Amino acid sequence: MNDTKNVTEFVRLLVKSISKKTFQQARLYNKRNKAYAISQLRARPVKIKEGYKISVISRTDTQDFTKNYTEEEFIEHVKEQLTEHFFIAEFLTNQYKYFLTIYPNGKSKLRHKVSDQKTSLSLEHNAIKNRFIKAENNEYLRLLNITGANYTVKNKSQDKFKQINKYVEIIHDILKKKNLEDGAKIVDMGSGKGYLTFALYDYFQTYRKQTPLITGIEMRPELVNQCNEIAQKCGYDMLRFKCKMIQEVEDDAIDMLIALHACDTATDDAIFKGIKANAKIILCAPCCHKQVRKRMNPTNIMAKISEHGILKERQAEILTDTIRAMILEAHGYKTRVFEFISTSHTPKNVLIVGLQEESRKEPDLNKMKEIQTLKDMWGISFHYLERLVQNN
Ligand SMILES: C[S@@+](CC[C@H](N)C(=O)[O-])C[C@H]1O[C@@H](n2cnc3c(N)ncnc32)[C@H](O)[C@@H]1O
């Protein structure tokens, strides 16, 4: 005997939670017929340009398909899928979790329990988190081994994927303050395996509908070849990788310079190239900071720091990046230094962002004097970036 009472009640509760905006997520699974290609549906609310929608991912063995529904369309979809394709459905509100099980004989059971997810998910946050780089059907992510054959992010790549999205999110915010024209030239120095370089190209093409020329500079030929092959396979005509030392780059047409975790003074070489090229945006995430640590020998009370290796190391990092920020300021860049991602994802999480406010041929001498004062205080014989700009 068919028992539709529980199904009707489940749908009523779902409608209510959606209309009250307490709906968090839903899942339909355990398919009725093995031949049905979709193994499960996952749904969550999203706030997009068109307003509040329910985003549904239909998962098959090889691929995920995403479609956004209005509330009414979503409810109709759930009803249809429940009666024709799945035995189990569950959904979560900010208070309860509801489970509906339909048995092959037509009977059903509806249960609920208090949800342990106390706080409601922020739609805005969800939207931002998932807005820019999507795993689904993104071939370069699969070729870079971030996703598997079915385009889902591999477990071991979850952190990398979060980092990529976070970087792109930051770049998105930067571009709100400093726009780049069509045809802009972006250089990623020390591009490594190209994760961010590809993601940036994807973001510009998919989200901004722009195709800047993006060049990755990398000294390891095997990485350069691999990235160029992937770019070609994806048809990314305006993305290319060059096997070069950062120091050897002679490009003076750079609108945005990026250097993420380029080792030690390679970050300075990259910043210097950006300043020289009059880049509008300079963005770098410094990596190891050996240069200043080796040149830091304070003779005053600051010498106490040398008694503790770890403290000297941290202080050297702070001074290295402070001086980098000051040099950018002296060259007309409004500069911000901040942590961009939780230390649980990477300990290398400081970002220096310089936005050009004025184009300067010569640095502001007062600001350069301040750097000297700081160096004297900490007994720093030289800072690599300062030397580069002074010898220019
Ligand atoms: C830690 S990896 C970071 C890669 C990439 N930017 C990322 O964040 O995923 C640093 C990369 O910079 C490259 N690199 C370091 N110094 C360089 C230099 N002076 N010129 C060119 N490439 C350099 C290294 O070979 C390496 O692939």
- Domains in the chain, start-ordered, CATH in brackets? 5-131 (no CATH), 170-390 (3.40.50.150)
Of 3-7, 119-123, 146-150, 317-321, give the lowest mean pLDDT range: 119-123
Long-range contacts of residues 375-379, Cβ cutoff 8 Å, at least 24 apart: 375/323, 377/298, 377/300, 377/302, 378/296, 378/298, 378/302, 378/315, 378/319, 379/296, 379/297, 379/298, 379/299, 379/300, 379/302, 379/303
User: Phi and psi at residue 207, in whole multiples of 5°?
Assistant: -90, -45
- 124: pLDDT strictly greater than 80: no
Please tell me the residue having the least CA distance from ligand 1 atom 10: 262
For the question of whether the overall pTM of this predicted structure is more than 0.85, the answer is: no
H helices, E strands: number in the chain: 12, 14
Cα distance between the two ends of the chain = 86
Gap from CA of 180 to ligand 1 centroid (Å): 25
Distances (CA, A) of 364 to 279, 310, 367, 374, 386: 17, 34, 5, 16, 13
**Ligand 1: lining residues by beta carbon, under 6 Å:** 190-192, 195-196, 217-220, 223, 245-247, 260-263, 266, 269, 287
Q: Please identify which residue in the block is written with the tokens 């990788």.
A: 241
Please tell me the residue having the least CA distance from ligand 1 atom 14: 190
- 283: pLDDT strictly greater than 80: yes
Distance, in Å, from the CA atom of 96 to the CA atom of 90, rounded to the nearest integer, reads 10
pLDDT digits (tens, 9 = 90+) for 222-252: 999 999 999 999 999 999 999 999 999 987 8
Distance, in Å, from the CA atom of 191 to the CA atom of 354, rounded to the nearest integer, reads 19
Pocket perturbation via mutation, ligand 1, pick of 219, 242, 265, 289 by most ligand atoms within 8 A of CB: 219
Q: What is the average pLDDT score of the chain?
A: 89
pLDDT digits (tens, 9 = 90+) for 164-209: 998 999 999 999 999 999 899 999 999 999 999 999 999 999 999 9
Which two three-digit tokens encode residue 25?
């997520």
Distance, in Å, from the CA atom of 89 to the CA atom of 108, rounded to the nearest integer, reads 11
